[in-house]
Amino acid sequence: MLVRDAMSTVILTIGPTHTLRQAARLMAARRIGAAVVMDADHSGIGILTERDILVSLGSDQDPDHETAGSHTTTDVVFAAPGWTLEEAAEAMTRGGFRHLIVLDDHGGPMGIVSVRDIIRCWAPALRHEGTLAR
């Protein structure tokens, strides 16, 4: 199975000036764990995850003053829609992340694939093979 078959195509795109509270509200409303941060002036495409927000809150930073741009991961590993789920899982394992932004042929975000997406796709196959307990 390929990344294009597992990824979510409904992505939340925010700017670097969104506060962490705004980002958290938008992510919570959509029940997602990551937002694509578009910063045309500086870093290009980055990702803000629920973990980034938790780290900030755990450091007693004010979510109404901290911006997405200050907490965005800009050294991002991107996935291609034609990657296998195994390739995506290996990239996530190597980098220690749970989300990959999937880029289209023009370098724009077309989706996000998460660990949850991969598990959702693999679980039925593993159950069918008898390698996953019921």
Residue 126: predicted pLDDT: 62
CATH class of 3-129: alpha beta
Per-residue confidence (pLDDT) for residue 74, from 0 to 100:
85
Residue 46's nearest CA partner among 77, 23, 19 is 77
Pick out the chain residues at pLDDT < 70.
43, 125-134
- Residue 59 in contact with residue 82, Cβ under 8 Å? no
Question: For residue range 70-102, what is the model confidence (pLDDT) as tens digits?
Answer: 999 888 899 999 999 999 999 999 999 999 999
**40: exposed, middle or buried (Cβ count in 10 Å: 0-12, 13-18, 19+):** exposed
pTM for this structure?
0.86
Length of the chain as a residue count: 134
Residue 2 DSSP code: B
